[in-house]
Amino acid sequence: MNRKIGINIDRGTVWGHGELMREVAAVGFDGVFTSSDPEFVAATAEYCRKYGLDYTSLHAPFRGINAMWENGEQAQDMLAQLCASADLAAEYGVPVIVAHLSSGDDAPHVTDAGLENFTRLVDHAKQKGVAVAFENQRKLGNIAVIFELFENDPSVGFCWDVGHEKCFAYGREYMPLFGKRCIYTHIHDNHQAHGGDEHLLPFEGTIDYKNTARRIVQAGYEGPLTLEIAEPSTPGERYADLTARQFAEKAYAAVDQIRNLCEEAETK
């Protein structure tokens, strides 16, 4: 299977928005995802049309996400931000928003208020024709209960964040639990120290990508293999010494290697 491959496009990279988009398309990427900043989304959509790229997802806002498990003004403000992300996705024909369910090791427990808030988000996104992919963070309980709550809802899926699994989950693997619901991926590397969320290019840390590929194939996931890399915004940061073309080529080679590992796993 010739899976498509994608990459995040961040605001304020050292290369500039248009140059990075041009080089990502030139080296062979199929699609991109971004944050939900309205002006940046509008510009990205235009670049996607110009360079023939798929706009595969928006990352919904996540700062303050723990408020979603509460009642009150903060919860409603957070819900409004998430719903606005779905509105933006619908406006620009982006099929998926990726949402967090919590943040930090001391995230709140599952509450009725939280389930009601996330249900309102899902209902709103569904009305807009947009799927919601919930991403694994540190807590198992909230994502497990969400997939039970929306057990038969095809508009709710799983975003497997490979890097988060290895630096937040104390060895827990999420694909055997939720892989059948997987509709999106965030692929990046780290050195598997708890809290060490480095967002490196694959094969620069210690994650076993043969196992990653095996889990993808076992789950039957056929969607894009999408990188989520910490792209440099100032000189001196990792990858800042590369040109946009060099970075795009390096990123493409890494995710293409994972694609090849998936093809190998399919033959075994």
Q: Whole domain around residue 186: which residue ranges? A: 5-266
pLDDT tens-place string over residues 235-262: 999 999 999 999 999 999 999 999 999 9
Provide the number of structural domains found in the chain.
1
DSSP codes joined into one string, the chain? ----EEEE--TT-TT-HHHHHHHHHHHT--EEEEE--HHHHHHHHHHHHHHT-EEEEEEPP-TTGGGGGS-SHHHHHHHHHHHHHHHHHHHTT--EEEE-S--STTPPPP-HHHHHHHHHHHHHHHHTT-EEEEEP-S-HHHHHHHHHHTTT-TTEEEEEEHHHHHHHSTT--SHHHHGGGEEEEEB-B----TT----BPTTSSS--HHHHHHHHHHHT--S-EEE-----SSTTSTTTTS-HHHHHHHHHHHHHHHHHHHHHHHT-
pLDDT digits (tens, 9 = 90+) for 223-241: 999 999 999 999 999 999 9
Could you tell me the CATH number of the domain that includes residue 164? 3.20.20.150
Where the chain has pLDDT below 70, the residues are none
pLDDT at 104: 92
